[in-house]
Amino acid sequence: MSSQPLVIGKFSLGMGDRFAHEAEAQLAACLAAKKLGVEIVPVWNKSNREHNIIGSEPTSTRAAADAAVKALGWTAPYFLDADHIGLKTVDRFVGVSDFFTIDVADFIAQPAEPAAVKAFVDRHPELVGAITLAGIDRPFTTTRADVERTAAKFLLAVQEAGKVYRHIAAVKGVGRFVPEISMDETDSPQTPPELLVILAAIADEGVPIQTIAPKFTGRFNKGVDYVGDLAQFEREFNDDLCVIAHAVKQYGLPANLKLSVHSGSDKFSIYPAIRRALAKHGAGVHVKTAGTTWLEEVIGLAEAGGAGLALAKEIYAEALSHMDELCQPYATVIDIDRAKLPAAAVVNGWTSEQFVGALRHDQKNPLYNANIRQLIHVGFKVAAKMGPRYLEQLKACRESCARNVTGNLFDRHIKPLFL
Ligand SMILES: [Zn+2]
């Protein structure tokens, strides 16, 4: 084992592979970027929730990733992300993962000890008053009461992150994994001034995070485009980058600390803003995609026609009839207009072209239906229940599934963001 600490590179792409059949097709997208001179670090992520729904174990993600790396001769770093874990769920990942997304969103707004809040604010007089950050025109102006309020809201969450971090470090060793702290699965976005307070607290807690996932302004629904104020997003994203650069210097956080954009797949309308901001600040980013690959599998099945198309239709029909159950765990990150979901009988009459057109994320195609896309996105449990029947079709339709998985990541994600 080398003594060099594990450090994640400037640009990285989180990739979900629900059924552990697409790692090679996903890696092919990173390889295509590498051939063009841009290194995108592949990070395979799968949350505890996904493993539970599918009935898989993190060892299967590790096996699939290692096999893909070997098959394609990938020699650059790659990681396995224990996605959205906490103290209760981390243990099944500790052996195989080397990237940990420590999710403390549930602890936000649980009030911290008043004494701890006071000690924090006393320790950080630099957070009170006018704070000038390189790259931001107007200084942040904060009162002691503002900092107290922010600390009271986030300190307990940061302390919890410290507990989880130390739990992992005790097993794996310091420097043997990339820690991320995520606060995205909560109600309200964190503002750039709040992010500064949070980073100061994380540094105090001694967690050497390399990526941080705040909740950004606007809606990051699963599998579909961003909905929100583009100008505000761009302003806040730029400010967040300046906050991070400042916090790295001021609080001694790791020099490669970068933003992590969760539910980052398919957010095509904000990619130009992200790209501009990264170039302007020379910053890196981690973009986490997830269900977009599963959607491409279904597209690949449908495109193959025959039994593949029939299975894709069956998935839609099943998802439609179990909609409430499937949507429930994702209620806050989907917006499905039920009136715009065609009946199963209608979809059963569709050609490959109609099905693919409805599902593929091409907003210029008049057949595209964001409601179907979101329903199938949360419908992977249906395929999990099909078990070997689903996996056999994945194998039978390998060419079209792999082509769609690679093409989606490369053309619609990597190209507009990084190339
Ligand atoms: Zn997330």
Q: Specify the DSSP class assigned to residue 103.
A: E
**What SS3 state is found at 337?**
coil
| Distance from residue 329's CA to the centre of ligand 1 (Å) | 13
Ligand 1 centroid–CA 223 distance in Å is: 13
Instruction: Report how far ligand 1's centroid is from the alpha carbon of 380 (Å).
Output: 18
d(CA 413, CA 419): 10
CA gap 396, 376 in Å, rounded: 21
The Å distance, Cα 184 to ligand 1 centre, comes to 6
Token pair for 56: 């898989």
Cα of 333 from ligand 1 centre, angstroms: 10
* pLDDT digit string (tens) for the chain, length 419 residues: 456 899 999 999 999 999 999 999 999 999 999 999 999 999 999 999 889 989 999 999 999 999 999 999 999 999 999 999 999 999 999 999 999 999 999 999 799 999 999 999 999 999 999 999 999 999 999 999 999 999 999 999 999 999 999 999 999 999 999 999 999 988 899 999 999 999 999 999 999 999 999 999 999 999 999 999 999 999 999 999 999 999 999 999 999 999 999 999 999 999 999 999 999 999 999 999 979 999 999 999 999 999 999 999 999 999 999 999 999 988 888 999 999 999 999 999 999 999 999 999 999 999 999 999 999 999 999 999 999 999 999 999 999 999 999 999 999 999 999 99
Do 210 and 257 form a contact (C-beta atoms < 8 A)? Answer: yes
pTM score above 0.85: yes
| Cα(108) to centroid(ligand 1), Å | 15
Show Cβ contacts of residue 320 under 8 Å, excluding neighbours closer than 6 positions. Answer: 341, 343, 344, 375
So what's the pLDDT on residue 212?
Answer: 98
Ligand 1 center to 262 CA (angstroms): 5
Tokens (6 digits) for 156: 């307990």
Q: How far is the CA of 17 from the centre of ligand 1 (A)?
A: 15
Distance 276 CA to ligand 1 centre (A): 23
Give the distance (Å) from ligand 1 centre to CA of residue 239.
21
| CA–centroid distance, residue 264 to ligand 1 (Å) | 9
